[in-house]
Structure 1
């Protein structure tokens, strides 16, 4: 009986000790609320190459955001500039008309220097003026997008001006038999100046402005190639391994 009483007297103590152990275990059990703030935050992966913003990439992405109206105006202004250059040779006095002054070289010279079609001459000047003014406005409007300026303004303007210069020279030697009249000289000067300006701006923006931002883009992202079918490939950079940060193990 004494043993049974002794054992029964020790049971509550053991039970209390057991419940205390459970309470201690529950108290020290790690939960989501007691995690370290550093472990609770989600780890964000490092930015990939495609997520790096560069000036060159921003220019390429901005091409889609330029209004379609301005793209159409760029084509119109460069085309009307060419139209003016094409109309100029139509104002030249032909060699047949200049022969009306035979017997008087002074009269023949005046006939050769005269404008055959004054209204056509005025229209040609208006076309050139409208085209040049529109190109200058678009140049000012999108002055920081070098890629768009070269593709839409400077390069087409250079090619159209060169075509007008060749057409003028061909008409002088074909219609006027190589005689440079006053209108012919004016036309050559206008087309040559336009060709020189557009050609210089094309080379300046292509070989200096765009090349600088493209070189910086290649250093940060990598050199981009067209690929076999134009899918676009970014070459692996030599320092790729050095740029990778080691992943720290959480103990």
Structure 2
């Protein structure tokens, strides 16, 4: 089984620890992971802003870079949704023929991390240990586009030491929405404040999600409120063990473009 890590722009640039954590979890389960150095943006910011033609080269590049892999795994619900839902439609309109088929094939092999663990590997217990109280925020793309359902929760429920507490209004958007936060800053901030209040009300030490973009928005809002609740990506919790985490240098490999195959 050939598996590639699609690390995404936000993770690679701002949260490389999530990439390392994803790699650590997969390797712990015996999966050999490649990291194609030529990967780049999936085109979501351009597409969501209305620049379809500027998105097309990125769609084509994604299919070319990840050609030949059985599975493409990403720690991002929004980027997985962009690839799966929009890449085939963009390619059918822009390219057609064999190239469109190649794009559609790559899209069908792309999985958000929890999907890959539960649906492909058939695993809900990855051997993690995280002795903290955690609440889970289901991000919009994961919830509504990918239909992740209870997959992330099932993984969290099997983490030793973790106490999972319910988040009131969990299905409500955090207010980030990519370029929505830029174009509608006041509304975005108000939605973020509502989400932060709900999170604080749970008494949790950490809030978990499958998208660093949403965690960035939520984390910034919590920090401005002086909250002690910390945002943590699902991959980082799953990578944590008695011996440390993938983000503190005690576990995991390398992501972010430093080697072709991480083993």
State the TM-score, normalized to the length of structure 1: 0.28
Between structures 1 and 2, the one with greater helix share: 1
Tell me which structure has the larger Cα radius of gyration. Answer: 1
Which structure's relative contact order is higher, taking Cα pairs within 8 Å and 6+ residues apart? 2
State the TM-score, normalized to the length of structure 2: 0.27
Between structures 1 and 2, the one with greater strand share: 2
